[in-house]
Amino acid sequence: MEFIDILDTEGEVQTIALDQIAGIIDDGDLRIIHSKVPDFKIITNLPRTAIKSRIKYSRSKMYKRNLLGGIIED
């Protein structure tokens, strides 16, 4: 299982598993990342493209790990 870290609006780092992300909603200058876990969401001011690229990078890293049977170091 792969996780990503997101800096929220209060300056705290929040960690969420990729398979627990239910969706991302734009609300003005903020992005709300909803989780499949009830009552857990991350509110951040990171651009949507930054969040999407982190998810894409983590998924590709996870795919390479599963394909080759080991962890790839960057």
Q: Are 31 and 45 in contact (CB under 8 A)?
A: yes
DSSP 21-73: EEEEEEETTEEEEEESSTT-EEEE-S-HHHHHHHHHHHHHHHHHHHHHTSPPP
Q: Give the largest Cα separation in the chain, rounded.
A: 42
User: Could you say which DSSP state residue 18 is in?
Assistant: G
Distance CA 49, CA 62 (A): 20
Give average pLDDT by consecutive 10-residue segment, the chain, 74 residues.
86 90 92 92 92 85 61 53
